[in-house]
Every structure is written in C-alpha cells, then in structure tokens.
Amino acid sequence: MRWIVWAQRKNGENWIRERGLSHEQSVTLVYLVQNPGAIQRDIARMSRTSAASVSSLLQGLERRGLVERRTEPGNERSKRVYATPAGSELVAGFDTAMTAVEETILAPLDQAERDTLRTLLSKITADLPQPAQS
C-alpha cells in the first residue's frame, strides 16, 4: 500500500514541479477551481497559513495568469479570488495525469480484479476520517 501511495504522490509532485508550481500553489489552485470567488480568509483557513502568506502565494499565481482577484460591486475592500481559464486548464491537466498514473498502477489487474480492489478499498475508506474539502 505504501508503495502505491508513494508512486502516486511522486508522480503528482513531479507533474506540479515540471510546471513550476509549489505544492501550496497547486492546492490553492484546486481549491479555487472548486470554490470560485473565495476570499483570502477562506484560503488561509483551508491552507492553515497566515493572510500574508496567502497574499504572497496569490501574487505568484496572478503573475502567471492562473488566478485573478476581483472586487465586489459596492464593496471595494472585499476581493474575491477566481481561477482563470488557464488555471482551470492546469487543474484539469493534473487530474488527467493522475488518472494516467492510476491506470499504470492498475495495469496488471483485469477488470474483475479492479472491481474487487475498488470494493475492498471503499470498505476500508468508509471507516476513515474524511479529508477536509479543499
């Protein structure tokens, strides 16, 4: 099991690094695709970092054209953060890459074995704490 987790993680980290992103930037980008219009406080809470760290992180993503901050009409002080189409494409590319990794890992198994594995893993994960929604 550890080897499988390691292989998935390593491939994910390599994919992110090849695109010049940090782990924190990639997590934030996924969060913004799933939660368009988040405020910086939401991002800080999700990432368990300070508002200053989030501001710096967002500046890097903005420079690359992956996110944008927009002010709310009637409230110039409140800025909402959105993934740009380029940011959304990057997240979709990561999902595609991770699906390919999963296919490579599962390649030795036929469909019946894959179904059995998924059933067993679902049984195991049913009793595990659920991750926080990113």
| Domain locations in the chain as residue ranges | 2-125
pLDDT tens-digit series, residues 51-71 = 889 999 999 999 999 999 998
User: CA 77 to CA 71: how far, in whole Å?
Assistant: 7
pLDDT tens-digit series, residues 16-54 = 999 999 999 999 999 999 999 999 999 999 988 888 899
Q: At 69, give phi and psi (nearest 5°).
A: -105, 135
The CATH number of the domain covering residues in 2-125: 1.10.10.10
Whole-number pLDDT of residue 63: 96
pLDDT tens-digit series, residues 74-105 = 777 788 999 999 999 999 999 999 999 999 99
Whole-number pLDDT of residue 75: 77
pLDDT tens-digit series, residues 105-121 = 999 999 999 999 999 99
Whole-number pLDDT of residue 51: 84
| Cβ pair 46, 93 in contact under 8 A | no
| Cβ pair 37, 81 in contact under 8 A | yes
User: CA 4 to CA 26: how far, in whole Å?
Assistant: 21
Whole-number pLDDT of residue 134: 47
